[in-house]
Amino acid sequence: MSHAAFFDLDRTLLSGASAHVVSRVLRETGVVNRSIPGESLLYQVFETFGENLPSMVLGRQAVLAMKGHSRDVVRAAAHTAAPDLVAMLQPYATKVFEEHRANGLKVVLATTTPRDLIEPFAQLLGFDDVIATTYAVDADGNYTGELDGVYVWSRGKRDAVKAWANANGIDLAGSFAYSDSVFDEPLLTSVGNPVCVNPDWRLRLMAAARRWPVTHFDVPAGVAKIPVVGLEAQQALMKFARPEVFPYARFTITGTENIPKDSAAIICGNHRSYFDIAAISLAVAKTGRAVRFLGKKEVFDAPVIGPLATALGGIRVERGTGSDEPLQAATESLMAGDLVAIMPQGTIPRGPAFFDPVLKGRWGAARLAAETKAPVIPVGIWGTEKVWPRNAKLPNITNLTSPPHVIITVGTPVHLSYTDPDADTRLIMDAISALLPPEGREYREPTEDELRRSYPSNYKGDPDSEEDRRPGLD
């Protein structure tokens, strides 16, 4: 037998309530002439806390409100609403559809929303079928005020899915169901692979008790979100990413207005210290946004820190393998409208290369920009190596009386050709260099102590070869 993936609509696939859009379009097209008293408040409660009995009572009454209306007129209004509903689709939902289709599963929308109002939306997204509440029509094509079949909610949704599965030769034991609502517990328990998406607090408790997976379609897989509040864990932490949290450093941060407030961008900084991540985080925190950092695999493999890096939205990079997976993950994040941070140098330069004023980068950022057309925002970082030198296991948090000065300067987008990754990489590195203080753009002979601090504590390589460490194709 075949298998299928069943998707709930509101707060699962969509960022909010579809009824909010549908109701507006029905009024604009003259199908109805006024809103229901308290309608907006109910939508706000629904979008914040999830499905509730008052909203379902309102939904049940809708069939009576549509009595006498032409089905064709309503479907025409639904076609008008469909693009607005598609715009509400969570950015990572499409990837889940594609994965299921690649595995041979049918992708089915299972929703309480009336079929005639939601079918055009489902057609735009290429769903294989729709299981939805259906309003009965008379011989003239007008709604009768009654249902044709069950009200597709809670147990009714489960029964409708089972009936559809039986009619289409679908084995539910090998199928998937996705929902945000505790009222979909009957559906979730009827399939072999239940998945809780953006769950309300009751479903989250149920998921914990039953060990059901929890995910969100507005963030990459594995990224943690705070229950009920709906904030990413990183966004919550970013609220504490303030200079006062780091009393062992003084900060000058400028140019953060160049970071887009609500669209994709590639943040590119020079790499001087492990503290650079904190420096970029401080700059991005001023926008209130989360950022996806590309990081070496050793971070993600480490106990405790590894799962935390994933939960905070990090993208794993296995250096030296030539794998395109990190760039693919970064591309998905950018296409979803996220910020992605990358250090084009790939690693902190060592020895004499650390003091070279000519910054040398790898092609990853340029390739990302060419693929996504997301703007590249250069960031010049200076002084972080005095907070956390390369030869230290931890930052120097005891220097409270004369903390080093860290300068973070965010520049305007770099204009690229998108045709030559090597030339574009040079443009990116030149833009970063231009944001550094004058001493960062001039060569000087380092002291023995400065050289020592630029190497890892366990360094065993050849210092004379460090300037050549640049595999340009990744």
Contact 467, 443 (CB under 8 A): no
Query: Rounded distance, CA 434 to CA 428, Å?
Result: 10
List pLDDT tens digits, range 387-430. 999 899 889 999 999 999 999 999 999 999 999 999 999 999 99
Buried b (16+ CB within 10 A) or exposed e, 207-238: beeeebebbbbbbbeebbbeeeeebbbbbeeb
List pLDDT tens digits, range 202-242. 999 999 999 999 999 998 877 777 766 667 777 777 777 78
Instruction: Please check the confidence at residue 345 and state whether its pLDDT lies above 60.
Output: yes
Query: Rounded distance, CA 64 to CA 409, Å?
Result: 61
Give the pLDDT confidence score for residue 44 in this predicted structure: 67
C-beta atoms surrounding 403 within 10 Å? 18
List pLDDT tens digits, range 266-291. 999 999 998 998 899 999 999 989 89
Instruction: Please check the confidence at residue 310 and state whether its pLDDT lies above 90.
Output: no
Instruction: Please check the confidence at residue 344 and state whether its pLDDT lies above 90.
Output: yes
- For residue 401, count CB atoms less than 10 angstroms from its CB and return exposed for 0-12, middle for 13-18, buried for 19 or more: exposed
Query: Rounded distance, CA 122 to CA 222, Å?
Result: 27
Instruction: Please check the confidence at residue 265 and state whether its pLDDT lies above 90.
Output: yes
Which of 293, 298, 410 lies closest to 342, judged by CA? 293
pTM summary value: 0.77
Q: Which of 219-228, 291-300, 366-375 has the highest mean pLDDT?
A: 366-375
Buried b (16+ CB within 10 A) or exposed e, 414-423: bebeeeebee
Query: Residue 357's Cα: distance from chain center in Å?
Result: 36
Share of the chain above pLDDT 70, in %: 86
Tokens representing residue 413 in the block: 């987008």
Give the pLDDT confidence score for residue 31 in this predicted structure: 78
Instruction: Please check the confidence at residue 473 and state whether its pLDDT lies above 70.
Output: no
Give the pLDDT confidence score for residue 472 in this predicted structure: 45
Q: Which of 89-98, 140-149, 290-299 has the lowest mean pLDDT?
A: 290-299
Give the pLDDT confidence score for residue 228 in this predicted structure: 62
List pLDDT tens digits, range 29-84. 887 776 665 566 566 666 666 676 666 666 677 788 889 999 999 999 999 999 99
Query: Rounded distance, CA 366 to CA 425, Å?
Result: 6
List pLDDT tens digits, range 232-258. 777 777 777 789 989 999 999 999 999
What are the chain's domains?
Answer: 4-215 (3.40.50.1000), 235-468 (3.40.1130.10)
Tell me the backbone φ, ψ of residue 108, rounded to 5 degrees.
-125, 135
Whole-angstrom CA distances from 53 to 42, 153, 154, 183 are 10, 11, 11, 10
Give the pLDDT confidence score for residue 377 in this predicted structure: 98
Query: Residue 250's Cα: distance from chain center in Å?
Result: 32
Q: Compute the average pLDDT of residues 146-172.
A: 96
Which of 346, 330, 349, 347 lies closest to 338, judged by CA? 330
